Amino acid sequence: MAQKILVTAGASGIGLAIVEAFARDGALVHVADIDREAVARVTGGLERVTGSVVNISDPDQVDRLFADLRAKLGGLDVLVNNAGISGPTSPVSDYELAAWKAVIDVNLNGTFLVTQRAIPLLKQSDQASIIVMSSLAGRFGYPNRSAYATTKWGLVGFAKTLSMELGPHGITCNTIHPGAVEGARIRSVLEGRAKASGTALEEQVDSALVNQSIRKFTDPADIAALVHFLAGSHARTISGQSFPIDGDSKSTQ
């Protein structure tokens, strides 16, 4: 029987790579994303993929998401909590309270809301998994990104607690910690740094990878493959664990 998957922020980036990996394997995948146009592209371009436009920090919208999911999938085997925002770049002394609350609201409260509503469905599955996307910033401090780092560390505690609460039901829960990920987003950031500093793009790439033993950006497809494994039949006793996929990074700097 095909797995039934929910991926938050599944319409682009790492989330889309995860959706594509499960869809290729014959799973039924539901995408939850705030970007209406991106949801339309994904659901229109991939078979076996449905979607909902949702802001996961809004409880009413999350309720509607699960009404959609029940109607379209009829159940749930795997929850991939991938949605999150980074917030502004600012030291703690200057960090605005509204910005802090916004990051907490999506990264922690939104993940809580989605997970809480998913648990009754996951308990009905005989092979259920929760995968939580943390970050390199969930292993180290992250100067000028205090809210982001705080939430990514908080997600580790949340996942560990879920693994203990849900283990008796056979539900696994693990966190994944990507570092620098290949894609248009990081290339745009590095191009901006190169332009602002008058340096070559290659120099900025080298600087971004200097703290990694393996000096290359992580392919989103490799992160998706790890998610796919953790949700599969060979990972049923892997729970409460954190999985860095970051080229052996030594820090966020």
Question: Domains along the chain?
Answer: 4-181+219-245 (3.40.50.720), 183-217 (no CATH)
SS3 of residue 145 by DSSP:
strand
User: 162 near 118, Cβ under 8 Å?
Assistant: no
pTM of the model: 0.94
Alpha-carbon radius of gyration of the chain: 18
Q: Among candidates 9, 113, 116, 121, which has minimal Cα distance to 59? A: 113
Query: Which residue out of 148, 153, 158, 243 is catalytically annotated?
Result: 148
Maximum Cα–Cα distance across the chain: 57
Gap between the Cα atoms of 119 and 128, Å rounded = 10
DSSP 216: S
Active site (annotated) includes residue 95: no
**Please, what sign has the CA dihedral across residues 109, 114, 116, 122?**
negative
Gap between the Cα atoms of 74 and 30, Å rounded = 11
Q: Would you write out the chain's pLDDT as a tens digit for each of its 253 residues?
A: 899 999 999 999 999 999 999 999 999 999 999 999 999 999 999 999 999 999 999 999 999 999 999 999 999 999 999 999 999 989 999 999 999 999 999 999 999 999 999 999 999 999 999 999 999 999 999 899 999 999 999 999 999 999 999 999 999 999 999 998 998 778 777 787 788 789 998 888 888 888 899 989 899 999 999 999 999 999 999 999 999 999 999 988 7
